[in-house]
Chains A and B, each alone.
Chain A
Amino acid sequence: MSEVGDLEADVRGLVAREPRLQRDKPEVVGQMQRLCRAAARALPALGVGVTLISEAGPQVTVAASGEPIERIEELQFSLGEGPCFEAYRTRRPVLIPDLAAVAPTRWPGYAMAAHDHGVCAVFALPLQVGAARLGVMDIYRDEAGNLATQALRRALTFAEVATATMLDGQFSPESMDNLLHGAVDNRYEVYQAQGMIMVQLGVPLADAMVRIRAYAYAHNKRLNEVAADIVADKLVLEPDAP
């Protein structure tokens, strides 16, 4: 009991002592932002992000340790590939101490994009309770190398505390709504854009998403940016030439 209990108490203490910032959101999201920063400090890491993933597909990045990390976190979802999906699917941590050494076929787009953002190592930890999956905690480093045993234990404990924090008090529809609406990046514009493109091009939903992603990739833009432009009527996608 003592060692496991100590580690959790330790991590909770670190999160409680993490200073609040002006830009922190209220309630659970704010707690998660502090948790990400505390984790980045303690492990240490370039950054830490927490994203909720749903089996049907939608994702919400609840919090990240900093704005640049939010962008790095978004990469996996823009490109539709990356260690977080694998961690979510397999329900196991996916530890990549050296992104550059990863076979090019594994995540062809992601490895390069992450490297461009200075990421050399990624550790994706699934957030789960029993059989149910919430999402993933991603830990980024700017140097290749394994997480030392103690750091890995801490990281797993941070993931557990993150899960507990998000589930704690999520009993009312309002607090759940707060978590989703208040999240750092809830991608609602991506889904709006998806609906618009579906009508603009007369294609099914899935195809609309593929088209938006393809445009983002081809023009080296973030998915969120492209979506925002579509929603603001600044961008119209052309139907494929016959």
Chain B
Amino acid sequence: MTMLSVERLAEVLVEVADTLVDEFDLIEFLHMVTGHTSEVANADAAGILLADHHGRLQLMAATDGRTTMLELFQLQAHEGPCQDCFRQGHPVIEADLTTADQWPSFAPHAVAAGFRAVHAFPMRLRDEVIGALNLFGKTAVRMTGADIRVVQALADVATIGLLQERAIRQGEVLTEQLQNALNSRMVIERAKGVLAQIHSVSPAEAFELMRAYSRRHRLRLGEVAQAVTEDPARHPELTTPDPR
């Protein structure tokens, strides 16, 4: 696989990095990476597989959507360069599939589909391997050390972007949870005040009244609290003085 000019490679890297800053669309991003990698490595097809939470490789994006191609990617969930690369965490380079015997199931399929070379690069950041970048070539051409480093660099940039986006999303989820917890607490405290005033009891006693009422009527405490402050008429048993 022959490489592009340094200038074009630099352009590609900048474009990938740029995308990470903008509105992030995961699938779009991955498609872009496969396209660029394919161009840079002069490959005939490229794909990205990511591991799901069971550790199974799933195809996320590919430059070629034809059925035969999809099957070749899917096969690698069980056997093939991507599987090896994912498990071992380093690039797996196979320049000539016709002489390869390590993939008795995958290799013949790939050769039958017209491919001679298959390579896989780990999507990896330190100890975490999240998937693999997969390249197919129709001719059996070697990859030099420099070639391998360049493609791995693209895979690395893509990995960093993915993990960063994931961390941000996780942070957003947690922040939302914290906000919800804050709001729920506020609603409950207000309801305690309302009931404390109505029944001339302490807020703590008011809380017990509310809990007992919620349990008795199989209602969620939060919902009851909300209603107490917004629409007390909905729970007259709780909101009229001297309940029994």
Within A177-222, which residues are at the interface with B (CB < 8 Å)? 177, 179-180, 186, 188-189, 191-200, 205
Least Cβ distance of B15 to chain A in Å? Answer: 21
- Bitwise, B135-175 to A at CB < 8 A (1) or not (0) is 00000000000000000000000000000000011011011
Within A69-116, which residues are at the interface with B (CB < 8 Å)? none
Interface size on A, residues (CB 8 A): 40
Binds B, one of A4-12, A35-43, A165-173: A165-173
* Cβ–Cβ contact B171 & A58, under 8 A: no
Within A129-173, which residues are at the interface with B (CB < 8 Å)? 129-134, 163, 166-167, 170-171, 173
User: Which single residue of chain B is at the shortest CB-CB distance from A171?
Assistant: B174
> What class of interface size applies to chain B in its complex with A?
20 to 34
User: Which single residue of chain A is at the shortest CB-CB distance from B164?
Assistant: A130
* Cβ–Cβ contact B174 & A167, under 8 A: yes
* Cβ–Cβ contact B190 & A132, under 8 A: no
Q: How far is the CA of A207 from the CA of B213 in the complex (A)?
A: 28
Binds A, one of B42-50, B106-114, B191-199: B191-199
* Cβ–Cβ contact B181 & A173, under 8 A: yes
* Cβ–Cβ contact B178 & A170, under 8 A: yes
* Cβ–Cβ contact A192 & B196, under 8 A: yes
Given A171-B174, A196-B194, A130 and B169 contact (CB-CB distance below 8 Å): yes
* Cβ–Cβ contact A193 & B193, under 8 A: yes
* Cβ–Cβ contact B171 & A132, under 8 A: yes
* Cβ–Cβ contact A195 & B229, under 8 A: yes
Checking B182, B190, B196, B198 against A180 with a beta-carbon cut-off of 8 angstroms, the contacting residue is: B182
**A241 partner residues in chain B, CB cutoff 8 A:** none
User: Which single residue of chain A is at the shortest CB-CB distance from B195?
Assistant: A195
**A59 partner residues in chain B, CB cutoff 8 A:** 182
Least Cβ distance of B170 to chain A in Å? Answer: 8
B98 interface hit (Cβ, 8 Å): no
Given A195-B196, A205-B190, A58 and B182 contact (CB-CB distance below 8 Å): yes
* Cβ–Cβ contact B190 & A134, under 8 A: no
Q: How far is the CA of A133 from the CA of B174 in the complex (A)?
A: 11
- Greatest chain B CB density within 10 A among A57, A131, A132, A195 is at A195
* Cβ–Cβ contact B172 & A192, under 8 A: no
Q: How far is the CA of A29 from the CA of B193 in the complex (A)?
A: 26
Least Cβ distance of A131 to chain B in Å? Answer: 6
* Cβ–Cβ contact A196 & B175, under 8 A: no
User: Which single residue of chain A is at the shortest CB-CB distance from B203?
Assistant: A192
Least Cβ distance of B242 to chain A in Å? Answer: 15
* Cβ–Cβ contact B181 & A180, under 8 A: yes
A55 interface hit (Cβ, 8 Å): yes
B177 interface hit (Cβ, 8 Å): yes
Q: How far is the CA of A170 from the CA of B171 in the complex (A)?
A: 10
Checking B169, B176, B185, B196 against A196 with a beta-carbon cut-off of 8 angstroms, the contacting residue is: B196
**A121 partner residues in chain B, CB cutoff 8 A:** none
Least Cβ distance of A64 to chain B in Å? Answer: 18
B179 interface hit (Cβ, 8 Å): yes
Given A56-B183, A134-B178, A179-B178, A196 and B197 contact (CB-CB distance below 8 Å): yes
Checking B175, B192, B198 against A192 with a beta-carbon cut-off of 8 angstroms, the contacting residue is: B192
B79 interface hit (Cβ, 8 Å): no
B189 interface hit (Cβ, 8 Å): yes
* Cβ–Cβ contact A194 & B178, under 8 A: no
A231 interface hit (Cβ, 8 Å): yes
User: Which single residue of chain B is at the shortest CB-CB distance from A129?
Assistant: B171
**B190 partner residues in chain A, CB cutoff 8 A:** 191-192, 194-195, 198, 205
A interface with B by C-beta (< 8 Å): 52, 54-60, 128-134, 163, 166-167, 170-171, 173, 176-177, 179-180, 186, 188-189, 191-200, 205, 231
B interface with A by C-beta (< 8 Å): 168-169, 171-172, 174-179, 181-183, 185-186, 189-198, 203, 229
* Beyond A167-B178, A171-B174, 9 additional pairs, beta carbon < 8 A: A57-B186, A58-B186, A129-B168, A129-B174, A129-B175, A188-B185, A192-B192, A231-B193, A231-B196
The 10 closest A-B pairs by CB, nearest first: A195-B193, A129-B171, A191-B189, A132-B175, A192-B193, A58-B186, A195-B194, A130-B168, A199-B197, A195-B190
Can you list 7 A-B contacts (CB < 8 A)?
A54-B182, A60-B182, A134-B178, A192-B189, A192-B203, A195-B191, A197-B193
